[in-house]
Every structure is written in structure tokens, then in C-alpha cells.
Amino acid sequence: MVLQDSTENINKAWTNFEFISNVIGHLIWPMTLLILFLVFRKHFANIMKKLSGIDASSTGISLKFDQQIDEAIQNNLASNTTAIISKSGIQIGEKKVNDIPLTPFQQILGIRDELNHRIFLKSQESNIVTEHKTSIQLKNELLDLEAISQQEGKLFQTLIDLTNSVDNTINQSQVNKVQLLYINLKL
């Protein structure tokens, strides 16, 4: 009888131990994630401030950079009192060159090509050898020669960063904002 009572007590204790082990096993990952979130909450808050949205699709996760563009406009155009702010992309008397509308992504690639072309032309005007140099290296050399202002260099760098960070999920509104920055670049 004593042996049977102690076996029952051991079985009850083992059953309680298995129950507690199962509960801990199910709660350990959510608790770990919660603790990590609490420890790094300031970092998460900074990241969320920089993002205007996250798109998840079958191709992966895409971060929208609306806020990055808005900050670039605010930083580069707000301090420039003589900045030209265009409400539309059409100028009077401008001829329509392309009958096939470009996608927003293609428009951004075009802006990036135009940026590279403009910096190469400005470098050649300043007698800088352009062969085997990136547009960023040329920008830095132009800054060193004071052929462009610090503000122009900063705006150029911002535009290069923006045009290099896009993917094919960019929308026309974002392109229009980048075009606004590009129009105000005086190279």
C-alpha cells in the first residue's frame, strides 16, 4: 500500500512536471520576442519613423521610402529660398518625345542616368578626368575644387541614394517628388 501510494505520488508529480514543461515550451518564444522588443524598443521606434509602409507580397518585403523623399525635399529645398517648385511636370512649349508612357521605375532609372550625365559634364567642364570614376568620386572632386557648392553636393548625393534604393514598386507620386528634387539641382 505504501509502495502504491508513493508510485501514485510520483506519477502525479511527473504529470505536473510534464504540464509545466509543455506550458513553458509554448510560451518561451513569445516571451523571448516580447523581451527583445522591450529591450530594443527605441531602435524599433526609429525604424518605424523612417518607414511610411511595408508591402509584403510573393516577391518579398518592400519598404516604401516616402518619408525618405519627404525629408530630402525638406532638407534640400526648404533652406533654398530661390528653389523652383514645380506643380506639374509639363512645361509650356515642351515637345512630347515619348509616345509610350514609362513606368515609374523606368522614370527613376532615367533620372539616375541624367544625374550621372550631368556630373560627368560638370567634371569635364572643370577639367577633371572622368575615366574609371564613379559619379560620387566626381562629386567629391568637384566639391574639393569648389566647382559645386556643399548644398549642390548634398542634393546630388541624396538623389543618387534615392534613385539607387528604389525597386519596381515605386509609384508615380514618389517619382514626382524625386523629379522635384532633380529639377532643383543646379549642376
Residue 135 lies in a domain: yes
Full-prediction pTM beyond 0.75?
Answer: no
The reported pLDDT for the residue numbered 187 is 77
Residue 44 lies in a domain: no
Total residue count of the chain as it appears in this document:
187
Residue 68 lies in a domain: yes
- Residue pair 151/83 in contact (Cβ under 8 Å)? The answer is no
Residue 137 lies in a domain: yes
SS (H, E, C) the chain: CHHHHHHHHHHHHHHHHHHHHHHHHHHHHHHHHHHHHHHCHHHHHHHHHHCCCEEEECCEEEECCHHHHHHHHHHHHCCCCCCCCCCCCCCCCCCCCCCCCCCHHHHHHHHHHHHHHHHHHHHHHCCCCCCCCCHHHHHHHHHHCCCCCHHHHHHHHHHHHHHHCCCCCCCHHHHHHHHHHHHCCCC
Domain that holds residue 120: 64-87+101-183
Backbone angles phi, psi at 78, to 5 degrees: -65, -35
The reported pLDDT for the residue numbered 29 is 86
* Number of domains composing the chain: 1
In tens digits, the chain (187 residues) has pLDDT values of: 555 667 777 777 788 888 888 888 888 888 888 898 888 888 777 766 655 555 555 544 445 566 677 777 777 766 554 444 444 455 555 555 556 788 999 999 999 999 999 999 999 999 999 999 999 999 999 999 999 999 999 999 999 988 888 888 888 888 888 898 899 888 7
Residue 141 lies in a domain: yes
Residue 59 lies in a domain: no
| C-alpha to C-alpha distance for 65 and 51, rounded to whole angstroms | 6
The reported pLDDT for the residue numbered 114 is 94
